[in-house]
Amino acid sequence: LAKTTQPISMDSYEGQEVNITCSHNNIATNDYITWYQQFPSQGPRFIIQGYKTKVTNEVASLFIPADRKSSTLSLPRVSLSDTAVYYCLVGMNRDDKIIFGKGTRLHILP
Amino acid sequence: GAVVSQHPSWVICKSGTSVKIECRSLDFQATTMFWYRQFPKQSLMLMATSNEGSKATYEQGVEKDKFLINHASLTLSTLTVTSAHPEDSSFYICSARIPGRGRETQYFGPGTRLLVL
């Protein structure tokens, strides 16, 4: 299970693009990179998943460099409703389980 | 998309009583479900893995006799907090893997807020 490091918190303003970077230096060859979003008092929500290069869906984009030792979640034109905690997960542990790190607390300001 | 529900969404109980929380996969079958606990301002902590038709496996430090898990069908897992105490007050979240999707992809329930008085 690759250890991940991401900023504890970030602030941004409505309408801005927000990029959250996650470091995962010991990512394994078969590990995928997955991001979840969690609003207060709700369960996490799957946002996006990728293996290499770039993945885009209706919510976000995920950029993964060639060495795959980091990844960047990009949220275009954020709104107040994007205020949440964002978790970067890489691979699974030896027992085939997802283990959550501390996540990044994103606060969008008006 | 795949939906996981939990019931109840919140519960208040007296110390010493038992509380049952249900986790259902609404439009798919889930042979494996997971139970997490989350304290305020903290990340999710995996408690146990619920396997349909077999015993649950618990993470280190989680008392299996206190947190009883039953996965009697492919769409239902239950977590029973026995003899609840105030320190068991927390946000309990279940999740399920989606068949055919990557192993790292799970869908989470909305959570159950437990308050033990």
A49 contacts chain B (CB < 8 A): yes
Angle at B30 between CA B25 and CA B35, to 5 degrees: 75
β-pair partners for A85? A38, A105
- pLDDT over 80 at B103, yes or no: no
Contacts of A44 in chain B (CB under 8 A): 44, 93, 95, 108
B90 contacts chain A (CB < 8 A): no
Residue A46 has, within 13 A of its CA and on its CB side, a CA count of 24
Specify the pLDDT at position A92. Answer: 72
- pLDDT over 90 at B104, yes or no: no
- pLDDT over 70 at B2, yes or no: no
Residue in chain A lying closest to B93 (CA): A43
Residue A110 has, within 13 A of its CA and on its CB side, a CA count of 0
Residue in chain B lying closest to A37 (CA): B108
Cα distances from A54 to residues A46, B16, B52, in angstroms, run: 17, 52, 36
β-pair partners for A54? A63
Contacts of A92 in chain B (CB under 8 A): 103-104
Going A85 to A90 to A93 to A97, the CA torsion angle's sign is positive
Specify the pLDDT at position A98. Answer: 82
Nearest by CB: B104 against A43, A45, A49: A49
> Taking CB atoms and an 8 Å limit, are A46 and B105 in contact across chains?
yes
B3 contacts chain A (CB < 8 A): no
Q: What is the rounded distance in angstroms from the CA atom of residue B96 to the CA atom of residue A97? A: 11
> Taking CB atoms and an 8 Å limit, are A98 and B104 in contact across chains?
yes
Quick one: average pLDDT of A34-53? 93
Q: What is the rounded distance in angstroms from the CA atom of residue A5 to the CA atom of residue B46? A: 19
Residue (of A96, A78, A99, A73) closest to A3 by Cα position? A99
Strands, E assignment, B1-117: 4-7, 10-13, 19-25, 32-38, 45-51, 57-58, 67-73, 76-81, 90-97, 106-108, 112-116
Query: Are the beta carbons of A89 and A101 closer than 8 angstroms?
Result: yes
* Structural tokens at position B117: 């008085």
A102 contacts chain B (CB < 8 A): yes
Cβ–Cβ contacts within 10 Å for residue B105, how many? Answer: 18
Query: Are the beta carbons of B37 and B44 closer than 8 angstroms?
Result: yes
* Structural tokens at position B4: 């996981």
Average pLDDT along chain A: 92
A46 contacts chain B (CB < 8 A): yes
Specify the pLDDT at position A14. Answer: 97
More confident call, B45 vs B101? B45
Q: What is the rounded distance in angstroms from the CA atom of residue B117 to the CA atom of residue B114? A: 10
Parallel/antiparallel/unpaired status of strands B45-51 and B32-38: antiparallel
Query: Are the beta carbons of B18 and B70 closer than 8 angstroms?
Result: no
